[in-house]
Amino acid sequence: MSSQAVLVVNPEAGRGLGREMGSAIGRYLHELGLPARILNSSGPGDVRAKVQAALAERPRVVITAGGDGTVHEAVNGWMQAGGGAPLGVVPVGTGNDFVKMLGLSHDWREACWRIVRGDTRRVDVGRCNDYFFANSLGIGFDAQVALEANKIRWLRGNAVYGLALAKILMLMHSTPEVRVRHDGEKLVTPITLLTINNGKVEGGAFVMAPDAEIDDGLFDVVVAKGMGRLGVLQLLPQVLKGRHMSHPKVVKFRTGRLAVEADVPLPIHADGELTYTGATKLEIEVLPKALEVIS
């Protein structure tokens, strides 16, 4: 059964904010002249499945209400379905890096207005082994922070990431050695973190790749070589302002494809969602302008 719009709501997004906001978003879209069939996700992986199934019905638009984890699943469902309708996002998450990537407001009512207006653009998507990502993929420190942040249910907003960061820095700091291959080059180094960026911001507030563009067919890859806790503490304020590129321990390059290998298992996040806890080999590529989104 086809419909004008399908709204997939993650009730757990934003530490339960999605549960509070789902019906209000549906009502507001209806008031604006875009009735939407509302589907609530029931657990991990269900947003992906519901988006994929909804696209088979050929709606005018598929909308997600949630945070970056919800967007991550939606993008995977959209890519696996081969598209068919633009993807709209109503942000009700913790970091909302995806809407920052698109340069859009965090206000949910404004997001609804944009969706009804229907302007679209095409943006790049990353693929890592067998899954897709929209904004960023992180290896090492920031993946550990994402893992801990997802465990914190009693805070909302950027404070979640601050608390998770402090915990990782105090209790779980490590600098594994990785081998990175790209464009005929090879980098072998201990790392604090390695991020593959489509957007500029990750973790809600960290301007990891200030020069990244979401539709240029290239990743901005940032490597922070291995450093101790004091070095990390000194680097973090610079990352918050996007001023870390001249740091002597930071290496940046742009590429459309790279491979990362390690001898020890690595935690990996994609769009803030922990995708691997013990990866040792990653093949990563950009898919230029593969995703159609409401802008």
Separation CA 172–CA 146 (nearest Å): 13
Q: Dig out the tokens for 93 from the structure.
A: 């998450």
CATH of 5-118, one of 3.40.190.10, 3.40.50.300, 3.40.50.10330, 3.30.420.240: 3.40.50.10330
196-217 pLDDT, tens per residue?
999 999 877 889 999 999 999 9
pLDDT the model gives residue 147? 65
pLDDT the model gives residue 151? 64
283 DSSP 8-state letter? E
Please tell me which of 101-105, 146-150, 259-263 the model is most confident about, judged by mean pLDDT: 259-263
70-128 pLDDT, tens per residue?
999 999 999 999 999 999 999 997 778 899 889 888 899 999 999 999 999 999 999 99
Q: Among 87, 94, 92, which Cα is nearest to 114's?
A: 87
Q: Would the pLDDT of 182 be above 90?
A: yes
**Side-chain-side CA neighbours of residue 98 (13 Å):** 34
Q: Among 87, 80, 203, which Cα is nearest to 137's?
A: 203
CATH of 131-290, one of 2.160.20.70, 2.60.200.40, 3.40.50.1100, 3.40.50.740: 2.60.200.40
pLDDT the model gives residue 143? 72
pLDDT the model gives residue 211? 96
Q: Would the pLDDT of 152 be above 60?
A: no
Rounded mean pLDDT, 26-34: 96
Residues in the chain: 295
